[in-house]
């Protein structure tokens, strides 16, 4: 299936595996890339040296294009951009809008720039600055999220910009891909669906918690860092919501120190990153400190497997996912179902029943 996205980044299928911190490492990214999707390496929790090693590891596992997700407001963003350019990374994605200067630097080096946004005005801004495409995430998506549903936000952005738009938030199968294409998107981006694959390094106990969740078990809370954050509702999340602000800040300060050691950042650099984080977002210093705490809460679950001491960012689609296919099986099944849906649209009265792992008709052989 050829779209503006596949032509832009050189992948076989209009599917993006998003850059999830502690989750989107070399194994998952290379598996997604080998499956024909655009794998995106999450770098925010890596030191620059580890980022370079991770890029080289992905390169050793696949010849397919892949991307790296960066924090545009990080104090060492320029150094990380230099690594991408030197290592020949095809795509740079951003969780926050990169500056006009950063976009220009990447494009001059031949890197495709794809920021993620949650509002039409942000898409218009980065498009005007020269971004090559944009990922737009609706409120159904995991992690930090907004209030506007994908089905409302996506057509707004498609109508507002003249660059390829990739839809995120609520996608997990071929039907969703076709729906996104119908809205005018050039593809879909999925996080939770790729997290729940056999190629994901997330501990089995954590995957089991996701698979056991219903749609009602995926909630939005401000208890982690003061910002709306979509995740699985657990006893630990409930305890964070009950904790007073003073107690939360003490714990956050302790974990921020732990993140400093893991990330290799100095305290002055973390302060500068905090200032950048506050800029234009009306965050209090308490929220900045809590935000620095978030990576360690995610690591506790996604790396250490401690669902009792960590948080599990999640899209609402976790409530409808019940299997752990490989990335190859996932993408093959998704594209097979998308093809079937497109065929069925020309034959009214039919209902697609494709198995997402095999691409075969679920009703075959039944009366």
In the numeric block, which tokens belong to residue 51? 């980022």
Q: How far apart are CA 23 and CA 128, in angstroms?
A: 32
The stretch 168-173 carries a mean pLDDT of 98
Residue 142 predicted with pLDDT over 90: yes
How many other CB atoms are found less than 10 A from the CB of residue 163?
A: 18
Identify whether the C-beta of residue 354 lies closer than 8 Å to the C-beta of residue 190: no
What percent of the chain has pLDDT above 70? 81
Residue 98 predicted with pLDDT over 80: yes
Question: Mind listing the pLDDT tens digit for each residue in 267-295?
Answer: 666 565 555 555 555 666 666 666 666 78
| CA angle, 342 then 347 then 348, to 5° | 110
The stretch 87-115 carries a mean pLDDT of 95
pLDDT band, very low/low/confident/very high, at 6 (cuts 50, 70, 90): very high
Residue written as tokens 């998107």?
A: 185
Coil/strand/helix, residue 344? helix
Identify whether the C-beta of residue 26 lies closer than 8 Å to the C-beta of residue 61: yes
How many other CB atoms are found less than 10 A from the CB of residue 7?
A: 12
Higher model confidence: residue 128 or residue 274?
128
Residue 252 predicted with pLDDT over 80: no
State the alpha helices, DSSP H only, in 173-284: 174-183, 192-195, 204-212, 235-242, 245-263, 267-278
Residue 367 predicted with pLDDT over 80: no
Q: How far apart are CA 254 and CA 293, in angstroms?
A: 8
Residue 216 predicted with pLDDT over 70: yes
Higher model confidence: residue 279 or residue 198?
198
Higher model confidence: residue 229 or residue 259?
229
CA 287, distance to chain mean position in Å, is 22
* pLDDT for residue 365: 40
CA distances from 1 to 180, 194, 218, 338, 346 (A): 14, 20, 32, 10, 18
The stretch 257-271 carries a mean pLDDT of 59
The stretch 188-213 carries a mean pLDDT of 98
Q: How far apart are CA 166 and CA 136, in angstroms?
A: 6
* pLDDT for residue 280: 52
The fold of the 4-195 domain, in CATH, is TIM Barrel (3.20.20)
* pLDDT for residue 274: 59
Instruction: For the chain, give every domain's residue range.
Output: 4-195, 214-317
pLDDT band, very low/low/confident/very high, at 116 (cuts 50, 70, 90): very high
The stretch 250-266 carries a mean pLDDT of 60
* pLDDT for residue 95: 85
Q: How far apart are CA 362 and CA 359, in angstroms?
A: 9
Identify whether the C-beta of residue 249 lies closer than 8 Å to the C-beta of residue 224: no
Higher model confidence: residue 267 or residue 166?
166
* pLDDT for residue 4: 98
Considering the chain, what is the average pLDDT of its residues?
A: 88
Residue 86: what are its φ and ψ, rounded to 5°? Answer: -65, -35
User: pTM for this one?
Assistant: 0.87
Higher model confidence: residue 78 or residue 252?
78
Residue 250 predicted with pLDDT over 70: no
pLDDT band, very low/low/confident/very high, at 259 (cuts 50, 70, 90): low
Question: Mind listing the pLDDT tens digit for each residue in 332-352?
Answer: 999 999 999 999 998 866 555
């Amino acid at each position: 299936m050829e779209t503006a996205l596949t032509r832009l980044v050189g992948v076989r299928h209009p599917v993006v595996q998003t850059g999830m911190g502690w989750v989107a490492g070399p194994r998952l990214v290379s598996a997604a890339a080998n499956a024909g999707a655009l794998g995106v390496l999450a770098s925010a929790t890596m030191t620059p040296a580890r980022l370079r090693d991770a890029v080289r590891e992905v390169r050793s596992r696949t010849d397919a294009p892949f991307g790296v997700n960066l924090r545009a407001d990080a104090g060492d963003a320029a150094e990380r951009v230099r690594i991408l350019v030197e290592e020949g990374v095809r795509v740079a994605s951003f969780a926050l809008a990169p500056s006009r200067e950063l976009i220009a630097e990447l494009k001059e080096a031949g890197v495709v720039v794809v920021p993620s946004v949650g509002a039409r005005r942000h898409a218009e801004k980065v498009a005007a600055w020269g971004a090559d495409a944009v990922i737009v995430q609706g409120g159904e998506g995991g992690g930090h999220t907004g209030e506007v549903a994908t089905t409302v936000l996506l057509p707004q952005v498609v109508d507002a910009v003249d660059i390829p738009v990739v839809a995120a938030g609520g996608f997990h199968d071929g039907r969703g891909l076709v729906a996104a294409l119908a809205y005018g998107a050039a593809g879909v981006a999925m996080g939770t669906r790729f997290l729940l694959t056999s190629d994901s390094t997330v501990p089995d106990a954590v995957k089991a918690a996701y698979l056991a969740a219903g749609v009602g078990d995926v909630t939005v809370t401000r208890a982690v860092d003061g910002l709306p954050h979509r995740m699985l509702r657990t006893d630990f999340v409930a305890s964070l919501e009950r904790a007073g602000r003073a107690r939360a800040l003490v714990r956050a300060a302790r974990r921020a120190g732990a993140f400093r050691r893991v990330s290799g950042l100095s305290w002055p650099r973390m302060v500068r990153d905090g200032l950048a984080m506050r800029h234009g977002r009306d965050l209090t210093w308490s929220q900045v400190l809590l935000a620095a705490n978030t990576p360690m809460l995610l690591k506790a679950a996604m790396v250490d497997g401690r669902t009792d001491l960590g948080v599990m960012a999640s899209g609402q689609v976790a409530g409808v996912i019940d299997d752990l296919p490989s990335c190859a099986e996932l993408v093959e099944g998704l594209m097979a179902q998308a093809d079937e849906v497109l065929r069925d649209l020309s034959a009214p009265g039919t209902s697609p029943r494709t198995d997402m792992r095999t691409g075969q008709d679920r009703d075959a052989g039944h009366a």
